[in-house]
Structure 1
Amino acid sequence: MVKSITRVVANSGALVLAGVLTLAGCGSDGGKGGGGGGAIACPGGPGTLLAAGSTAQAPAMDLWRNQFQRACPGLSVSYGGGGSGAGVQQFEAGRLAFAGTDAALTAGDTAATKAACPGGQGIDLPMVGGLVAIVFNVDGVTGLTLDGATTAKIFDSQIKKWNDSRIAALNPGVALPDADITSFHRSDDSGTTFNLTSYFAATSGGAWPAPGNKTWKGEGGQSATGSAGVSAQVERVKNSIGYVELSYAQQDKLNAAKIATAPGRAVAASAADAATTIAASSVAGTGADLALRLDYGTTAADAYPIVLVTYEVVCDKGNKPATLPAVKAFLGYTASAAGQQAIAGAGYVPLPNALTGRVKGVIDKLG
């Protein structure tokens, strides 16, 4: 039933954690270096957890693992980017304790995870809330408004000039240059691409040629690897446009377009406005799987439509006994109020308490 809710691994060897870890109480780090560690329960003994996937959540993972490792000396969490597609593939191959993806597992993905989860399967645990910002570097322009159809046509090379009448109609009074548009998209299979193209599919009136997909389906444009790669290219190339998570836009000081969602309404790419959309989402997964249904076509006031939620993919059953306590401890921290607050200042959206409560309940029962 659907209920409403208000760095890449260097080898493919087995995960190693010294000894069988048992949960034991451990103090916090007092909130140093990123927003507060809270009360982190530390498994005993040294070891390493290996994870990889979504680059959207990489800055959040850096904050979380730093807090966790300070609180739990000798235990490290290694997280490699590489994109959602690569992370899921490595998880399916049994190389990771968990993977990060900005697109929930497909039925085919879930079936493939069973080999890595003896007696169980991979499930989606929503952990990182965020948004996809349409970032631009246009000569003489610091503020820009776009809508679904216009943005889709830009990224599909149907609109090729910045002073095109369709862009001008959304930006009265803005001096748009007579310049060619250079668009950048992800070269790797990306959950960020999935969320952007799902928005296009919902709002472009058929202008976008395909359903939401992790693989880029648009015509033309240039590609870059990872969110960091797209951000760097937009920062470097004049009269360019791309899409990245808000954390990268803030980090690289890129301009982000407002999104027109209704006549006379343009919504900023802000964490607060993305939170409105995420809070109105619903759980579409079944059982322990908490995949969400996001409304990319929202027209609600103060609701930014191009949102994303990054999931940690983990085995519901069949986790390696040596790593399971550490997995539960680390993910339990990231889903906690302290963990969510730790990333709030880095361009992310803390998930609703009702949702994180369900996530923590699933984590407690992982086997």
Structure 2
Amino acid sequence: MKLKVIAAAVIGASFVASAALADRVDPDLPEYEPVSGISGNMTSIGSDTLNNLMTLWAEEFAGFYPNINIQIQGAGSGTAPTALTEGTAQFGPMSREMRTSEIQAFEDRFGYPPTMVPVAIDALAVYVNQDNPLESITLPQVDAIFSDTRRCGYDQDITRWGQLGLDGAWENRDFTLYSRNAVSGTYAFFAENALCGGDFKDAINEQPGSASVVQGVSESINGIGYSGIGYITSQVRAVPVARDEGEEAYPVDHEDYPLSRFLFVYVNKHPNEDLAPQQAEFLRMVLSQQGQEVTARDGYIPLPERVASRVRGELGLD
């Protein structure tokens, strides 16, 4: 579908533009102008990564429409497709694209696929404790730390910090591995892009939310974990990541950081019909100046207008 093509085509170029906008919003984004007659209840079920951002967007939306109420549930991206298919949610935030089987289940019920809406850009950070002196890491090393399969090509299992070049008291320290759980889109994205499609080690500590991963790393001197950059705290550091040995390691706010991704909200939109007014206005607000200011405040990278305008056009919101 067209929105999917847009997302795939512009993620590289848009991240270049958006990284420079991490602290400010594209001035070409339109101001949101409220309309009359918007009230009622809506539900959002899906991504934990997007849970806080959806809550902040809902609060911003309620500022325009006091008679609107949006319930937010963020158990993981894997809960969004079922909620949309069963009609228990109007919004399905996801930190990954839907799988073919999830799209098929929706299409079997409605006769058309769900609509994928890019709403923000995230950088998936590799976190270590604030007192850890590690300066950088490569994706093959990340793979060798977190997986048994080592599909990214590293020549040995990594079980000690000394294997990453740390010495002294760090040399023989092992890792405490923190990960999201399998229902999470972050878990799936990390497995595909940092583990080259491989399998996690049995020793990982699976956490129900991104904040729990960061908290675990902050409380463990040997901790290492991953989650969205929006969850960073002063007790952890996001380590610069290189694609391979000998290549430059980039920080999370750089346009060439190798673990960047779109964040999505899926909706049920008939291809020949408009969205319900409440859904349409919420997404119009998200894709506006005010909505993307919320994105930046929450620590994520706002969409540039050239991406947002294409998405609004595909949704019939312009």
TM-score category, normalised to shorter length = 0.7 to 0.9
Q: Which residue of 1 aligns with 2:277?
A: 325
Paired amino acid for 1:130? D
For the 8 Å contact 2:229–2:300, the answer to whether it is kept is yes
Give the corresponding residue for 2:207: 224
Deviation at 1:264, TM superposition (A): 5.0
Give the TM-score of the pair, scaled to structure 1: 0.70
Question: Is 2:118 the counterpart of 1:126?
Answer: yes
| Alignment correspondent of 1:357 | 309
Matched, 1:247 2:217: no
Count of residues in correspondence between the two structures: 287
Q: Secondary structure at the match of 2:162?
A: coil
SS at match of 2:74: strand
Q: Deviations over 1:204-223 (max 9, x none)?
A: xxxx635xxxxxx4432211
Percent identical residues:
22
Query: Relative to structure 1, is the Cα distance of residues 336 and 179 closer, same or farther in structure 2, using a 3 angstrom cutoff?
Result: same
| Match 1:182 to one of 176, 187, 201 | 176
Q: Which residue of 2 aligns with 1:307?
A: 260
Residue 342 of structure 1, CA deviation:
2.3
In structure 2, the partner of 1:283 is: none
Matched residue, 2:159: 160
* 2:243 maps to amino acid: T
1:232 CA drift (Å):
1.8
Change (3 A) 1:141 1:231: closer
**1:257 counterpart letter in structure 2:** V
Between Structure 1 and Structure 2, which shows a larger proportion of helix residues?
2
Q: Which residue of 1 aligns with 2:74?
A: 81
Aligned residue type for 2:121:
G
State the alpha-carbon separation in 2 of the partners of residues 209 and 360 from structure 1.
Answer: 36
2:242 equivalent to 1:260? yes
1:48 to 28, 32, 41: 41
Greater shift after overlay, 148-157 or 66-75?
148-157
CA RMSD for the aligned pairs? 2.9
Q: Which runs of 4+ in 1 moved over 3 A?
A: 1-4, 173-177, 318-321
Once the two structures are superposed, residues 225-268 of structure 1 have per-residue CA deviations (whole angstroms, 9 ceiling, x without a partner) of 11122122112222111101111014x54211110235251101
Moved more, 241-250 or 118-127: 118-127
* Counterparts in 2 of 1:43 and 1:77: CA distance versus 1, 3 Å: farther
Q: Deviations over 1:298-344 (max 9, x none)?
A: xxxxx0010121111111218999x8110000011111233112221
Structure 1 residues 144-194: Cα deviation after superposition (integer angstroms, max 9, x where no partner): 311111111111263211112xx11xx6x8973421211011124111112
Change (3 A) 1:255 1:174: farther
Tell me how far apart the structure 2 counterparts of residues 174 and 255 of structure 1 sit (CA, whole Å): 20
2:217 matches 1:234 = yes
Secondary structure of the corresponding residue to residue 309 of structure 1: strand
Distance change in 2, residues 1:343/1:356 (3 Å): same
**Deviation, structure 1 residue 115:** 5.6
Q: Render the CA deviation track for 1:131-152: whole Å, top value 9, x for unaligned.
A: 11001127x4244311111111
Distance 1:56 1:176 in 2: 31
Q: Deviations over 1:49-95 (max 9, x none)?
A: 10111111122212211111011111122211000001222222211
Matched ranges for 1:92-107 at <5 A: 92-107=85-100
Deviation per CA, 1:13-52: give whole Å up to 9, x if none: xxxxxxxxxxxxxxxxxxxxxxx99424345153111011
Distance 1:310 1:319, change over 3 A: farther
Q: Distance in 2 between matches of 1:43 and 1:112?
A: 36
Question: CA separation in 2, counterparts of 1:264 and 1:120?
Answer: 44
Alpha-carbon separation, structure 1, partners of 2:47 and 2:206: 17
Q: Give, as a single letter, the amino acid of the residue that structure 1 aligns with 2:86.
A: A
